[in-house]
Structure 1
Amino acid sequence: MYQPSRSNSTTESESVGKVSNSLERLDDRVKTLEHEINNLKKLQDEVSKMNEDMQEKEQWARANNVEIKGIPMKSSENLYELVSQVSQVIGCQVRREDINYIARVPNLHEKTVKNIIMAFNNRFTKENYIAASRRHGSLSLKDIGYHGDGKIYVNDHLTLHNKALLREAKLLAKEKNCKYIWTRHCKILARKTDTSPIFRIKVNQDLLKI
């Protein structure tokens, strides 16, 4: 019967030892990579949370603001008189002392038109104004004495992030037959059917719920 020589046994043992050491080193390396991946995931989660908190604070800073879209600019216009005309139409009178400031701001999607931002001193006054506009329904330029059939929109003053989320949510709602997408108290809300629960859309991942 053939018996391996002592030298062959030693060589095989050394080979097994080398393989075993290599496997141990590989296992250590895999564990190190897993640890690094877990740390990276934790860091990504922290960054996402920081971004979400920053967006919340930025939106909160606009909580008293109303954005009025669709009124063409005129030279030497009086913005207070303009918003007073809108206020009369929707049935929600606003006093000068209720307003912190009124200004035109650039519109990213319509370079020739600037929306009107009206900042109230009191959030409840602002919410009443938004509610009155929604009760009134469709508002047009003719309602305030302008020519043309253009529409006027009175909405919460959303951040750029939330405006983009709202646009995307409305597009997805049409594709997926989600019945309701709306804003309330500067929050984007959705409801798939008349009887389904309401959910909030805060970040891009929430769009998957639609």
Structure 2
Amino acid sequence: MNIIRREIQQSVTEAIESAVKMFFSKEFDEIKSELATLQEIRKSMEFLSSQYDRVNSDIKYLQDRLTLVTIEKLMLSSQVLDMSDRLNLMEQHSPETNIEINGVKENKSDNLLSLAKQLCSTISVPFMDAEVLSGARASKMNDKNDRPRSIIIKLQSVKKRDEIFATVSSFNKKNTLDKLNYSHLGYAGNKSPVYVSEHLSSHNKKLHASTRNIAREKGYKYVWIRNGRIFVRKEDHTPAKQIKCYDSLNNL
């Protein structure tokens, strides 16, 4: 019985030891597997962290470049605007002795020199042939516009140009019911209005058209041109404002 008891005890002990070894061996394998997974995760996190730092560095570099490009763009825009203003001044300076006549119907037999003489005769301005250097019809800015092309008369001096402008204005004020019109130029029976103004550069002509439209919308009473510059006045007692560019129209 003692022998049998010892053998049973030994068998139970061995079975328990074997079961314990198997249990812990399995647990240790799972722990090792989990540790290996954690190691992989740690490596992945380190890689992602380095990638994040690099992306942050790239973003900062791009932000710095964008700031520089923006500054360069603003500088270039300012330079282009300045050059555009200078070119416009040069273009406006070129026709400073010209007058522009609008409202005269086109006719192949038109003699623009005779028309200029008739205009000066009507408003009582002394006129000599030598004071007119040339005359021509301007090109149309819009081919769909059916209004007659304006007449450009190039005079010998700014003084003569200003004399004509002043006398036309005085003539219209004195003849409010019969302002300068087609009949005054030798075309009897036609009272279509005729306008005499400064010859503007293409840029200033477009700016002047926009100014008239916006001034009308915002209730400005006067829009006029003097020496190639555009002015507006809302009421008789309010100060005049010069329109230098399209941005000036936003401040009306």
Query: Under a length normalisation based on structure 1, what TM-score does the superposition of the two structures give?
Result: 0.85
Q: Quick one: which of 218, 221, 231 aligns to 1:179?
A: 221
Using a 3 Å threshold, how does the CA distance of structure 1 residues 84 and 18 change in structure 2: closer, same or farther?
same
| Mapped partners of 1:114, 1:26: distance in 2 | 58
User: Where do residues 26-175 of structure 1 align in structure 2 (5 Å cutoff)?
Assistant: 26-109=59-142, 110-111=145-146, 113-137=148-172, 138-146=179-187, 147-175=189-217
Superposition RMSD in Å: 2.4
Q: For residue 189 of structure 1, what is the aligned residue in structure 2?
A: 231
Which structure has more helix as a fraction of its residues? 2
In the TM superposition, what whole-angstrom CA distance separates every residue of 1:136-173 from its partner, at most 9, and x where no partner exists?
A: 11211122331322111111011222121111111111
Structure 1 contact 101–120 (Cα < 8 Å) conserved: yes
| Mapped partners of 2:107, 2:53: distance in 1 | 82
Mark the runs of 5 or more structure 1 residues left unpaired by the alignment.
none
| Mapped partners of 2:120, 2:100: distance in 1 | 13
3-state DSSP of counterpart to 1:101: strand
Look at both structures and tell me which one has the larger radius of gyration over its CA atoms: 2
Which structure has more strand as a fraction of its residues? 1
| Mapped partners of 1:15, 1:70: distance in 2 | 76
| Mapped partners of 2:47, 2:159: distance in 1 | 81
Using a 3 Å threshold, how does the CA distance of structure 1 residues 20 and 114 change in structure 2: closer, same or farther?
closer
| Mapped partners of 1:107, 1:23: distance in 2 | 57
Structure 1 contact 90–136 (Cα < 8 Å) conserved: yes
Q: For residue 205 of structure 1, what is the aligned residue in structure 2?
A: 247
Structure 2 contact 113–132 (Cα < 8 Å) conserved: no
Q: C-alpha displacement at 1:60, in angstroms?
A: 0.8
Structure 2 contact 231–241 (Cα < 8 Å) conserved: yes
| Mapped partners of 1:172, 1:181: distance in 2 | 10
The residue type equivalent to 1:25 in the other structure is D
Structure 1 contact 103–118 (Cα < 8 Å) conserved: yes
Q: What percentage of aligned pairs have identical amino acids?
A: 23
Using a 3 Å threshold, how does the CA distance of structure 1 residues 156 and 32 change in structure 2: closer, same or farther?
same
Using a 3 Å threshold, how does the CA distance of structure 1 residues 202 and 28 change in structure 2: closer, same or farther?
same
The residue type equivalent to 2:114 in the other structure is E
